[in-house]
Amino acid sequence: MERILIVDDDITFGLMLKTWLSKKGFGTQTAASAAAARTALAEGGFSLVLSDMRLPDEDGIALLQWMSGQRIEVPLSLIHISEPT
């Protein structure tokens, strides 16, 4: 089973994404910060990372740079949802 790491501090959005992906047959895990994502990624086993651009402790670009420095070769897709104006 393909595993996807969802990195988002918006608990509601993360749960919605996790539920939808689970129904599609993917294994999922969530992390609410870049630090939690680094811990999960160090354990390995992910096929994809879906990360919010804005996180409470860093941004998604910093997480991508960390992954590159650690030679974690997992595709990362950055999500940016802007608030309505």
CA distance 54 to 27: 24
Please list the helix, strand and coil fractions of the chain in percent, rounded to the nearest 5, in that order: 40, 25, 35
d(CA 24, CA 58) in angstroms, rounded, equals 30
Annotate 60-84 with DSSP letters as a single string. HHHHHHHHHHTT----EEEE--PPP
Position 39, amino acid:
T
Encode pLDDT of 4-48 as tens digits.
999 999 999 999 999 999 999 999 999 999 999 999 999 999 999
> Are 51 and 8 spatial neighbours (Cβ–Cβ below 8 Å)?
yes
Say what the pTM is: 0.91
